[in-house]
Structure 1
């Protein structure tokens, strides 16, 4: 079972690296916002895999809080950008 966790962490790290590339290269603001949102989701997924690996659910409140804050922040920023730049 440890092999599955190692492969999962590796894939999450690869996805995080690709998200960082998108965050740096852009080219639009919405691309960067989406990259930050994906990074938040990857952090939540990595924490969840770590909890499953250790068989302890001590950080479940943290995972739920970070996921909720990431969602609300993404929606708020996209609405702000939509109003500022006039996307329809």
Structure 2
């Protein structure tokens, strides 16, 4: 087993554990802000996993997917923050 294979397996396990923890927080989160934060964490984990896969396989094919995921994370967070701000003002 090469060093790169071991690092890939360890990174995959760490990304998997983080994703499972984020999904649990999305399901159990008592407030919408907890769920929003967990969704951002899940998207960040997906972006990092795609980046690691690109580095391991030495290609840039999924760079557009990473950018779209980052855009969804930012737009989603801003829209929920605006919604919660209007709800708190009432």
| TM-score, normalised relative to structure 2 | 0.86
Paired residue for 2:10, among 4, 7, 10? 7
In structure 1, the residue matched to 2:44 is: 41
Larger Rg over CA atoms = 2
In structure 2, the residue matched to 1:74 is: 77
Runs of 4+ off more than 6 Å: none
Whole-Å separation in 2 of the counterparts to 1:72 and 1:26: 21
Quote the offset at 1:56 in angstroms. 0.8
Higher RCO, 1 vs 2 (CA within 8 Å, ≥6 residues apart): 1
Paired residue for 2:31, among 15, 25, 28? 28
Q: Which runs of 5+ in 1 are unaligned?
A: none
| TM-score, normalised relative to structure 1 | 0.88
Q: Which runs of 5+ in 2 are unaligned?
A: none
C-alpha RMSD of matched pairs (Å): 1.3
Quote the offset at 1:43 in angstroms. 0.9
Whole-Å separation in 2 of the counterparts to 1:58 and 1:47: 10
